[in-house]
Amino acid sequence: MFCGPLRSLSTSARQTLKIGLIPADGIGREVIPAAKAAIEALGSDIPKPQFIDLLAGWETFTKTGVALPQETVDVLRNECDCALFGSVSSPSKKVTGYSSPIVALRKELDLYANIRPVLSVAPEVGQQPVVDLIVVRENTECLQEVQTTTDTGKEARATRVITERASRRIGQMAFELALARPRKHLTIIHKSNVLSITDGLFRETVRKVPTLPGIDGKYDGVTIMEQLVDSAVYRLFPHHVSENRVFDIMVAPNLYGDILSDAAAALVGSLGLVPSVNAGDNFVMGEPVHGSAPDIVGKGIANPLASIRSAALMLRHLGYTVGADRLDTAVDQVIREGTTLTPDLQGKSSTTDVLEAVLRRI
């Protein structure tokens, strides 16, 4: 799996690696400590890790009235080299003063790309995985909601914002990823047959990336395809496994990217396996794709593998490929052996059991 480094910071002079830890809500408080333990097990393959515990989330909001404390933002921006984020329990109804801290963090730190690899584990070492694709999701814009009250009752509106700048940045990130992959294939996801202005701008801007000044034919080897978002989801479904191999890098606006990556998780068995990084030009933050899973909080059965894979993606983006490969290889071995898995993967093991199995293989 390749997912960086794309905008790698200089790593040669680092003696320590300062990592912000934001477990946030729900099972985030169970899986982020597992990722921390996996990173610590890497020893000299990375600079000595220093972890900084930080607050954010719905529980923080209920205690303090603020979902994302300014101190958390300041520490990440001024003291940390990277970060790991757990999960958020957002209310289903509007709560005055509350907004998603992960959305705010992406904007505060300009983490404009949410990179979500979906990779199955081949039954035997050396075999090609059945599923191997990356969803590249624009992270900073899309829908903005407002609610008002009129003479006839409440009225809710969602305004969609797509800009040339954001589309160009995510497009270039996607082309860089495609260039580093064996197939070098990029699919632009849109719905411009209906949303001809907003999706039309996204589609046209991404298509023009190879012609930008200074590119000079860099992406000539990348093939470009387009797919309407609804048909893309259809082609991802498990009974279309042979068809989903047409996808390699899928680049999409924010909402579509979120839906696509969650749907693609069905191909590998569980959201508990799907990692991601939120990446910008100067910072990277790992984040498992799964939610806060309130139904299993405290039961000790949360799957820690997505958070460990997210730590690997984070390290790889920073240029620590040896350490990242060790994490991924250990996770692959645990999945391949199949004897130590959490219930979401039809196993009977606990979070701690799975973590210990990974640590033994690291």
Mean pLDDT of 221-243: 82
CATH code for the domain in which residue 137 is found: 3.40.718.10
Same domain? 52 vs 140: no
Looking at the fold, whether 157 and 68 belong to one and the same domain comes out as no
d(CA 50, CA 20): 9
Q: How many domains does the chain have?
A: 2
Same domain for 105 and 34: yes
Q: Looking at the chain, how many residues does it have?
A: 362
Q: Can you tell me whether residue 225 is helix, strand or coil? A: strand
Pairwise CA distance, residues 297 & 59, whole Å: 14
For residue 116, which amino acid is it? R
In whole angstroms, give the CA distance from residue 63 to residue 225: 48
Q: What is the pLDDT of residue 2?
A: 47
Cβ(90)–Cβ(25) below 8 Å: no
Residues 49 and 152 grouped into a single domain: no
How many whole angstroms separate alpha carbon 166 and alpha carbon 202? 9
User: What does the DSSP 8-state code read for residue 309?
Assistant: H
Q: Is there a single domain that holds both residue 246 and residue 218?
A: yes
Within a domain: residue 123? no
Q: Are residues 100 and 154 in the same domain?
A: no
Residues 66, 152, single domain; the answer is no
The reply to whether 299 and 249 lie within a common domain is no
* pLDDT, tens digit (0-9, with 9 covering 90-100), for 300-314: 999 999 999 999 999
- The pLDDT mean for the chain works out to 92
| Confidence tier at 238 by pLDDT (50, 70, 90) | low
> Has residue 250 been placed in a domain?
yes
Last-in-domain residue among 267, 291, 310: 267
Which residue has better confidence, 1 or 301?
A: 301
Look at 242 and 32; give whichever has higher pLDDT. Answer: 32
The pLDDT of residue 146: 81
215 vs 334: CA distance, rounded Å: 42
Residues 95 and 159 in one domain: no
Report which residue type is found at 320. Answer: Y
**Tens of pLDDT along 145-177?**
788 888 889 998 889 999 999 999 999 999 999
In angstroms, rounded to a whole number, what is the distance separating the alpha carbons of residues 119 and 35? 19
Residue 232 lies in a domain: yes
Query: Cα separation of 358 and 335, whole Å?
Result: 10
How, if at all, do strands 284-286 and 223-228 pair? unpaired
Residues 251 and 287 in one domain: no
3-class SS at 166? helix
Choosing from 225, 242, 267, the residue where a domain stops is 267
Task: State how far the alpha carbon of 36 is from the alpha carbons of 22, 49, 52, 341, in Å.
Answer: 11, 9, 11, 19
- Is 304 domain-assigned? yes
Residue-level pLDDT at 340 = 97
Residue 127 resides in a domain: no
Evaluate if residue 18 carries a pLDDT over 60: yes
For residues 293 and 183, membership in a common domain is answered with no
Rounded to two decimals, what is the model's pTM? 0.91
Domain enclosing residue 150, as ranges = 132-267
pLDDT band at 123 (very low <50, low <70, confident <90, very high): confident
Residues 214 and 313 in one domain: no
Provide the pLDDT for residue 81.
Answer: 95
pLDDT for 274 equals: 93
Residue 105 lies in a domain: yes
Nearest to 315 by CA among 304, 328, 300, 306: 328
Q: How confident is the model at residue 128 (pLDDT cuts 50, 70, 90)?
A: confident
Condensed to tens digits (0 to 9), the pLDDT of residues 36-68 reads 999 999 999 999 999 999 999 999 999 999 999
In a domain, 49, yes or no: yes
Q: Is residue 308 part of a domain?
A: yes
94 — pLDDT class (breaks 50, 70, 90): confident
Q: Chain centroid to CA 125: how far?
A: 25
Share above pLDDT 70 across residues of the chain, in percent, rounded to a whole number: 94
- Of 211, 240, 267, which residue is a domain's last? 267
